[in-house]
Amino acid sequence: MYWAKVYGVKDEIVVAICDEDLLDKTLNFKNKVEVKVTKGFYGDRYIDDTVALRLLDKSTIGNLMGKNIVKLAMKNGFISKENIINIDGTPHAQFAKI
């Protein structure tokens, strides 16, 4: 299960999805930048794989945090391995459809 939020920005549909266990956690990127996984950014709706895939399909930009959502997105062709970075051991990926 995941937390997700959808944003409309001009002509773009931005979807932010994180694994449920990451909500309200703070991660460190290379001990230089804190990344807060907040309800304000990710936590509008509690969703399953089916809804996550539907949101990813409709989105033009994606922000994904967590091993489960990143794995699901990669398995379904939304991202490739090159799109993934690790933040404090947690996979993170972003994509834009052109």
User: 89 is in which domain, residue-wise?
Assistant: 2-96
3-state secondary structure 30-90: CCCEEEEECHHHHCCEEECHHHHHHHHHHCCEEEEECHHHHHHHHHCCCCCHHHEEEECCE
Q: What is the pLDDT of residues 50-87, one digit of tens each?
A: 999 999 999 999 999 999 999 999 999 999 999 899 99
Of the CA atoms within 13 Å of residue 86, those in its CB half-sphere come to 4
Residue 88 belongs to domain with CATH number: 3.30.1860.10
Q: Where residue 14 falls among pLDDT bands split at 50, 70, 90?
A: very high
Average of per-residue pLDDT across 31-50: 93
Sequence-separated (6 or more) residues with CB below 8 Å from residue 1: 20, 46, 47, 48
What global pTM score does this model have?
A: 0.93
Domain count, the chain: 1
